[in-house]
Amino acid sequence: MSTYTTDFGSIEDFRTGGVMAIDDDPKNYVFSNIFEVASKAKPYERVAVGKNFEYVIETIRAEGTSDWYTCAHDEFILAMDNQIKVELIKLDDPDAAVDPESEGAVKLSGEPKGRPMGWAKLGRGHMCILPVGAAYRVISEKPATAILQTVEGQETVQRWAEICKTESLAQA
């Protein structure tokens, strides 16, 4: 019986993997290492690492305090390694902050107007909903990796040519 070990990566300690395509071209399978992408990103840059129609998974390098964001639809954030804090404000007028027909996150200018909803401290594997009608920001005392599920929008950064790996393990 084989023994397997699960090694959890982090922004400080990750190993770039590969894909082993069986009887197919590895270029048909794009993939990236979220920790590697976050380690090379600017703080709070939202780099798309997965896409399914209009939906994207973005990875961020959480470091310091982000700007405030809102969205015309629910999003969620998942902490992948180090602790992050998410602060939430229920907006007084969500339609004034973001077009209800828009897609993806929108960066707000200045402090949002509304009442505090609270905050969530997320450790590895913890998730927080970023509800429609709310503003949010992320705070991290040290570099951390998080992923966001959202819809592709104006804050989504596309870097597919830089981040996609197409080598098979056999070729590496």
- The secondary structure of residue 49, as a DSSP letter, is E
Whether the model pTM is above 0.95 = no
CA distances from 147 to 1, 4, 89 (A): 35, 26, 20
- Helix runs in the chain, H state only: 34-40, 94-97, 160-163
Going by C-alpha positions, the residue among 62, 41, 64, 73 that lies closest to residue 126 is 62
Domains of the chain: 26-159 (2.60.120.10)
145-157 tens-digit pLDDT = 999 999 999 999 9
102-130 tens-digit pLDDT = 999 999 999 999 999 999 999 999 999 99
